[in-house]
Structure 1
């Protein structure tokens, strides 16, 4: 059986959907904190099991009979390393034969704040002796397309990325890649490191221009210092810690850390990745 952590989340649900197109529902295990949130998956025949990052003992029972496991990184920044470690230890204790982990682009080199916990998790996986693959996901189109309201209201995309380019893809693209890896043989995937990103990279100025064209409203990119960007975010109600992370990511985009031209993602899924224009159009 193939299990997916965080199966009720945005990415998790899409991974389950992609798996259902490739294997029987009875061979899929959705691991969730609250099983009631995925009653629709249970109705399709997916095995739903309770598993909570904050209750590591829950994974001991939840992983019984599981052969392959997708560990989708948790959302609690600052707490993810012990959470992930507990899942990896439970997987080893249950004899899981293969794991895949959703990391971040060039996690072993990236200066981004978000990369620290991913690099630490990769190290734990490497030391576990569990055969595994690393899915180093780039940025999601939805990071932008799901946050268009303030852009349309103010006419501005703000950030501190300069002319840095972002090679983003849709969550569905990354989910499909995970499903491909999980349904392939262990021998084929063990030890693989995938740097996954969109085919088409863009600057924030280009992003603003696409929003303007597709919405018919004015939109332009306003580049600012990292400090001013943090101030703008916190002034809009974003918590200080999260604002620091967003600004750090934007600043590192200027250094090329969110760009990748390998087209590994499109090769893995066998089709071009979803463009940012397509995601914006859908969101609008």
Structure 2
């Protein structure tokens, strides 16, 4: 039995879609906060169980019979460590043979502000008593392609990453990595994967690619971190998200989102999705 937490989220759904290609639906448990949001998965034979990271009592029933669990990190910044520890405890009570966790690229040394909760989670994982594997996911292409409509409207993509190179990959690539680890024949316990795209780019190069594909001139406007955060707030983003994005760009300027180990493509057995392909997809939707 495979349990996918956060299964109604963007990454979780992609993991289940790809897992369905490898194992029968009845062997997949979609653990979700709101089961009604996963009714379509239930209709396909996936077991949908209610599971809330903040309500540990729900996790025992959700994990019953689990052999392998994918803990997709919580989106509730500031509460993640306690929530993740609740999942670890429930996984141990369930007797799970493997707990996979989606961390962040180079979590142990990363300058990213969001890396701290991942570091703490990784430390807790090592002590929780459940065999664990860590998937240190790099940046998603989608983190930047989601901003394309605004960039086209303003003729500029704003950021504070300078000339920092970003080794991102498509969300579906990271989902494929999770599936590869969950279904691997060899023992995955104790492994740490640094996952990133095969190639890297600057945000100036990102803007140039948007220009080429859209036919509309888009430049990259590099701002001081505080000014970029202010622009995000003015655009309507909540404080925590504006802070996270500005901090992440500033860390990218110092190399926090760069990696050339190509562990992701090796794990999934194919090249990672090109940025140009994700830009084309974003422009088509």
- The TM tier, using the shorter chain, reads over 0.9
SS in structure 1 at match of 2:158: strand
Alpha-carbon deviation of 1:54? 2.1
SS in structure 2 at match of 1:162: coil
Aligned to 2:33: 33
Q: Distance in 1 between matches of 2:54 and 2:129?
A: 24
Contact 2:69 2:96 in 1 (8 A): yes
Which 5+ residue runs of structure 1 have no aligned equivalent?
none
Determine if the alignment matches structure 1 residue 122 to structure 2 residue 122: yes
Mapping 1:249-268, distance limit 5 Å: 249-268=248-267
Q: Distance in 2 between matches of 1:253 and 1:10?
A: 23
SS in structure 1 at match of 2:187: helix
Aligned to 1:141: 141
Contact 2:147 2:157 in 1 (8 A): no
Determine if the alignment matches structure 1 residue 226 to structure 2 residue 225: yes
Aligned to 1:97: 97
Aligned to 1:269: 268
Q: Distance in 2 between matches of 1:141 and 1:244?
A: 19
Alpha-carbon deviation of 1:240? 2.3
Aligned to 1:238: 237
Determine if the alignment matches structure 1 residue 194 to structure 2 residue 193: yes
Contact 2:167 2:196 in 1 (8 A): yes
Q: Distance in 2 between matches of 1:33 and 1:247?
A: 29
Q: Distance in 1 between matches of 2:166 and 2:111?
A: 16
Q: Distance in 2 between matches of 1:220 and 1:233?
A: 17
Q: Distance in 2 between matches of 1:22 and 1:141?
A: 25
Which 5+ residue runs of structure 2 have no aligned equivalent?
none
Determine if the alignment matches structure 1 residue 49 to structure 2 residue 49: yes
SS in structure 2 at match of 1:221: strand
Segment drifting more, 176-185 vs 230-239: 230-239
Q: Distance in 2 between matches of 1:236 and 1:46?
A: 39
Aligned to 2:202: 203
Measured against aligned partners, the alpha-carbon deviations of 1:17-74 in whole angstroms (never above 9, x if no partner) come to: 1111111111111001111111111111111111112211100111110010000001
SS in structure 1 at match of 2:106: coil
Q: Distance in 1 between matches of 2:239 and 2:75?
A: 17
Aligned to 2:79: 79
Aligned to 1:182: 182
Alpha-carbon deviation of 1:147? 2.2
Measured against aligned partners, the alpha-carbon deviations of 1:175-221 in whole angstroms (never above 9, x if no partner) come to: 01100100113x52111100000111000000000000000001000
Q: Distance in 2 between matches of 1:34 and 1:70?
A: 18
Q: Distance in 2 between matches of 1:45 and 1:232?
A: 45
